[in-house]
Amino acid sequence: MSKKNQAQLDRLADAARQGRISRRDFMHYSVAAGLTATTATGLWTTKAAAQPKSGGNFRWGLHDGNTSDTHDPGTYVTRQNIFLAHTHRSYLTMIMGDGSLGPDLADSWEANDDATEWTFDLNQEAAFHSGKPVTADDVIASLNHHRGDDTTSAAKALLTDVSDIAKDGDHTIVVTLSRGNADLPWLMTDYHFAICPANDDGTIDWQSGDGSGPYKIDSGEWGVQFTLSRHDGWHREGAYFDTVEILTLNDPNARQTALVTGDVHAVSLIELKTMGLLQRDPNLDIHNVPSAAAITMPMFCDQAPFDNVDVRNAMKLAMNRDEIIEKITFGAATKANDFHHSPAQPYYPEGIPQRDYDPDQARSLLQKAGAEGLTVNLSAADSVYAGAVDMAVLYAEQARAAGININVVREPNDGYYSDVWLTKPFCLVSWGARPTPDVMYTLAYKDDAAWNESHWQNERFNELLLQAKSELDESLRAEMYAEMATLARDDGGTIIPFFNNFVYANRANVGTPEELAASWENDGARAASRWWFTD
């Protein structure tokens, strides 16, 4: 082999190790550089996909933490809550790097024929940090924390169909549903459903911060820092770091400089404006992972002028998504098509034509609706999404070409979700990634959902939603979701400009798996248990 080829291979291996190219690309290029496929595979395993090794103190900076956060899973809301929960607590199931559903506390699960009864078998080894084994009672109490009349959990809506949770021995639970739901195991990955130790009276002890996750909390202060150490005998593979420190770094510049100066090893978000500049730093690896998180712009379908479907579609046509993706997300987003189903979710319907910027057609639709020279207010706040107000301003400029006047109203960051969302007829909203389209549609598009943010009522859509929910045949289900997507796209009241990618970064001496989970930033919020130090 020539020297030149050797150098090229070294570079390739380097790129592969840092996750900049995939295994398939690596194989392709190395074979082109003159290697046999077998040698290339060998090289990949030895050099690129080096085995994770244990040790070190992992410092991890998060972009969203509040001093008034608590350990109560029912009110988890910030990244600090969620990422800490994935580090010190366990869930029944978890989303794996390749997007499939894997086991966490539950080793296996199965449903009856109409998906109204689910049985979960728990791992026998799992134990809380206090030493107490995790039993069916703990799981039941933890799920019941989000059910019943007196719950204050934000996840109550997700479990309304659950009619009973019973135990069948110490390590088996049976969940009975009033209506079939084929996605229940997926639902169990929701960040609220962390398993906490049960008290004798059937409530849970969330206050102590005890959990059965890969790391246990040694000390911590909300909004500042948590120090954790490895939970020996954790029931799953991984947890390579000896200790983990989770820091709250709310300021974008603080995160960026802490990472650049090596003060932290990974951060959960980098500012998109500076993404290109950070990529030049050879000490850093930037990850840009397509996700199911979305920005939506709901219009009240029962209120003029949005009660006319032509107006709604004109609004959708008046948006130049490409320009918005380029200028607001700097390319770190997947173009959306006005239905809330991301390519990062299962059952994604291919082949639905993409709606693009067409001010002329928008104008003629408005003419048809008798609403030329339409003027509407669009509410936004930068706390929704970095650049949300800019995005609204840009959209207003684009819509001008279709003869639509959009007044951008910057709302106070404080209290946006209680005063603006679901109250103002047209606003900007950010949705976290949900595991399946069913969860998303049920939460925010079902006719009687509390968060039906566009007040959209479509009989056929709701009928299909219920059918698909309990359909265990995957291909039939996919067909239903395709039809629902078309309905949402052509009749729905929500403009969806894009699904935002997760853009995060780590020091080059941190090893990451080939595929990163897309449920949260930093490998599905599980960087602490899935990543390792390479030096």
Partner 1 sequence: MSDIFKLVMKRLGLGLVTLLVVSILIFFAVELLPGDIAQAVLGQGATEETVATLRERMGLNDPAIVRYLDWLGGAVRGDFGVSLISGGSVGDAITQRFLNTLFLATYAAVIAVPFAIVLGVLVALMRDTLFDRAANILTLTSISSPEFFLGYVLILYLSVKTGWFPAISSLSAGMSFGELLERTFLPALTLVLVVTAHMMRMTRAAIINLLASPYIEMARLKGMPPWKVIVKHALPNAWAPIINVVALNLAYLITGVVLVEVVFVYPGIGQLLVDAVAKRDFPIVQACCLIFAATFILLNLAADVGSILTNPRLRHPK
Partner 2 sequence: MSVFVIGYYTILIAASCLAVYFERRRVFMLLFSLTLVSFVAGIIGGVGALRTITTLAAVLSLAAGVSYAFKEFLVQIARPGLARELRTAPLTAAFGMFVIFTYAIAGIFAPWIAPHGQAEVISTSFAPPDANMLLGADQLGRDIFSRIIYGARNTVGLALAATILAFVMGAFAGLLAAVKGGWFDQFMGRFADVIMSVPSLIFALLMLSIFGTNLFVIVVVVAVIYSPRVFRLTRAVAGNVVVMDYIEAAKLRGEGDWYLIRREILPNSTAPLVAEFGLEFCFVFLLIAGLSFLGLGIQPPTADWGSMVRENATLISFGDVTPLIPAAAIALLTVAVNFVVDWMLFRSSGLKG
The residues binding partner 1 (CB under 8 A) are 66-68, 70, 75, 77, 149-157, 207, 221-225, 247-251, 253-254, 257-258, 260-261, 263, 414-415, 417-419, 421, 450-451
Q: How far apart are CA 412 and CA 72, in angstroms?
A: 27
Beta-carbon contacts of 104 under 8 Å, excluding residues fewer than 6 positions away, are: 90, 91, 92, 93, 94, 236
By beta-carbon proximity to partner 1, the closer residue of 70 and 486 is 70
* Cα–Cα distance, 236 to 127 (Å, whole number): 11
Residue 155: which of partner 1, partner 2, none does it interact with, CB under 5 to 8 A by kind?
partner 1
In the numeric block, which tokens belong to residue 481? 């979701």
> Which residues have a Cβ under 8 Å from the Cβ of 337 and sit 6 or more positions away?
352, 354, 355, 485, 489, 496
Is 375 one of the binding residues for partner 2 (CB under 8 A)? no
Taking residue 10's Cβ as centre, other Cβ atoms within 10 Å add up to: 11
Cβ at position 107, least distance to partner 1 in Å: 30
Choosing among partner 1, partner 2, none, which partner's interface includes residue 382 (Cβ < 5 to 8 Å by kind)?
partner 2
Sheet holding 333-335, edge to edge: 333-335, 494-500, 294-298, 429-431
C-beta atoms surrounding 208 within 10 Å = 13
State in angstroms the smallest separation of the CB of 155 from partner 1.
7
Considering the complex, what minimum distance in angstroms separates the CB of residue 66 from partner 1?
5
CA pseudo-torsion sign 492, 494, 496, 500: negative
The least CB distance from residue 241 to partner 2, in Å, is: 28
* Closer of 169 and 412 to partner 2 (Cβ): 412
CA dist., res. 246 & res. 56, Å (int): 14
Task: Report the partner that residue 75 touches, choosing among partner 1, partner 2, none (CB closer than 5 to 8 A by kind).
Answer: partner 1
Of residues 402 and 433, the one with the C-beta less far from partner 2: 402
Measured from the CB atom, the residue of 390 and 515 that comes closer to partner 2 is: 390
For residue 81, the minimal CB distance to partner 1 (Å) is 11
Smallest CA-to-CA distance from 85 within 179, 209, 177 is with 209
Q: Which of 27, 162, 299, 381 binds partner 2 (CB under 8 A)?
A: 381
Tell me whether residue 22 or residue 203 sits nearer to partner 1 (CB atom).
Answer: 203
Residue with Cβ nearer partner 1 (369 or 428) = 428
Two tokens, residue 181: 């739901």
Contact criterion met (CB below 8 Å) for 518 and 503: no
Distance CA 96, CA 457 (A): 35
Half-sphere exposure of 423 (CA within 13 A, CB side): 10
Q: Which is nearer to partner 1, 70 or 364 (CB)?
A: 70
Q: How far apart are CA 47 and CA 51, in angstroms?
A: 9
**Interface pattern 274-293 for partner 2 (x via CB under 8 A):** x--x----------------
In whole angstroms, the minimum distance from the beta carbon of 53 to partner 1 comes to: 27
Tell me the sheet residues that pair with 219. Answer: 227
Q: Which is nearer to partner 2, 381 or 443 (CB)?
A: 381
DSSP category for residue 177? E
Residues contacting residue 24 through CB under 8 Å, at least 6 positions apart: none
Beta bridge partners of 376: 406
Which stretches within 126-176 are classed as H helix?
A: 136-144
Q: Which of 273, 303, 447, 460 binds partner 2 (CB under 8 A)?
A: 273
Q: Which is nearer to partner 2, 277 or 476 (CB)?
A: 277
Q: Which does 248 bind (CB under 5 to 8 A by kind): partner 2, partner 1, none?
A: partner 1
User: By rule CB under 8 A, what count of residues binds partner 2?
Assistant: 31
Quick one: 251 or 474, whose CB is closer to partner 1? 251
> Which of partner 1, partner 2, none has residue 8 at its interface (CB below 5 to 8 Å by kind)?
none
Judged by beta carbon distances under 5 to 8 A according to partner kind, the member of partner 1, partner 2, none in contact with residue 411 is: partner 2
Residue of the chain from 47, 238, 309, 330 that contacts partner 2 (CB under 8 A): 330
Interaction of residue 327 with partner 2, rule CB under 8 A:
yes
Q: Name which of 419 and 474 has its Cβ closer to partner 1.
A: 419
Is 18 within 8 Å of 25 (Cβ atoms)?
A: no
Decide whether 382 or 483 has the Cβ nearer to partner 2.
Answer: 382
Q: What angle do CA 73, 440, 288 make, to 5 degrees?
A: 85
Interface residues for partner 2 in 231-260 (CB under 8 A)?
252-253, 256-257, 260
Q: What is the SS3 assignment for 363?
A: helix
Structure tokens at 230: 């490895």
Contact window for partner 2 (CB under 8 A) among 60-68, 364-372, 388-396, 431-439: 388-396
Question: Could you give the CA distance from residue 91 to residue 123 in angstroms, rounded to a whole number?
Answer: 12
Terminal C-alpha separation, the chain:
29
DSSP label of 351: T
Among partner 1, partner 2, none, what does residue 154 contact (CB within 5–8 Å per kind)?
Answer: partner 1
* Cβ at position 248, least distance to partner 2 in Å: 18
Told to check if 387 binds partner 2 by CB under 8 A, we report yes
449 contacts: CB under 8 Å, gap ≥ 6: 157, 442, 443
Give the one entry of partner 1, partner 2, none that residue 77 binds, where binding means its C-beta sits below a cut-off of 5 to 8 angstroms depending on kind: partner 1
Which one-letter DSSP state was computed for residue 158? G
Question: Under a CB-based contact definition with an 8 Å cutoff, are residues 332 and 278 in contact?
Answer: no
Q: Among partner 2, partner 1, none, what binds residue 167 when CB lies within 5 to 8 Å by partner kind?
A: none
Q: Which two tokens stand for residue 178?
A: 């009033």
Q: Which of residues 391-420 bind partner 2 (CB under 8 A)?
A: 392-394, 396-397, 408-415
- Binding stretches for partner 2 (CB under 8 A): 252-253, 256-257, 260, 271, 273-274, 277, 326-327, 330, 381-383, 387, 389-390, 392-394, 396-397, 408-415
